[in-house]
């Protein structure tokens, strides 16, 4: 099945590429609607599904039901992030912790397709600000 490079698709990709953080369907929709006022949300769903199938984007779950999508190219070195609950700044991890247990998982006959890590807490500078108060 051949993928066609429609203007809707181009817009969606360009929005995801420009984003420095994972975006939800609604955020993508809001970002695109001014340029393509007639775009249907189903078009975004279908494109997102396709981009995921093509392994061009990754899914990120944060708090609740909403799923956020990140263009993989923007996460080349396979970085994971820790997020400060207060200032929402992200800090990257020096390595992928999953790597450590990959062999075990493989040995169990499980093939990893995807993985995600969320670490939240309080960063150094927010903790410091607390002390000052």
Site residues (vs DNA, CB under 7 A): 1-9, 25-26, 36, 38-43, 45-47, 49-50, 65-67
Smallest distance from a second copy to CB 124, Å: 3
Nearer to DNA, 52 or 81 (CB): 52
Using CA atoms, how far apart are residues 30 and 9, in angstroms rounded to an integer? 15
Nearer to DNA, 18 or 66 (CB): 66
For the record, the structure tokens of 49 come out as 């599904």
CA pseudo-torsion sign 66, 121, 117, 31: positive
Q: What residues line the site for a second copy (CB under 8 A)? A: 59, 61, 63-65, 67, 82, 84-85, 91, 93-95, 97-98, 100-101, 104-105, 108-124, 127
Smallest distance from a second copy to CB 17, Å: 23
For the record, the structure tokens of 29 come out as 């929709």
- For the residues of 2-20, what is the DSSP string, one character each? PPP--HHHHHHHHHHHH-S
Nearer to DNA, 39 or 123 (CB): 39
Smallest distance from a second copy to CB 82, Å: 6
Of the candidates 74, 28, 21, the one whose C-alpha atom is nearest the C-alpha of residue 48 is 28
């Amino acid at each position: 099945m051949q993928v066609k490079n429609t203007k809707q698709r181009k817009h969606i990709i360009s929005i995801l590429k420009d984003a420095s953080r994972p975006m939800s369907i609604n955020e993508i929709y809001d970002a695109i609607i001014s340029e393509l006022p007639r775009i249907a949300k189903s078009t975004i769903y279908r494109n997102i599904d396709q981009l995921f199938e093509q392994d061009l984007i990754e899914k990120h779950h944060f708090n609740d039901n909403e799923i956020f999508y990140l263009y993989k190219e923007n996460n080349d070195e396979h970085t994971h992030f820790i997020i400060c609950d207060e200032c929402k700044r992200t800090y990257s991890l020096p390595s992928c912790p999953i790597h450590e247990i990959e062999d075990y998982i493989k040995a169990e006959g499980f093939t990893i397709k995807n993985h995600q890590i969320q670490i939240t807490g309080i960063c150094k500078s927010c903790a410091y600000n607390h002390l000052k108060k």
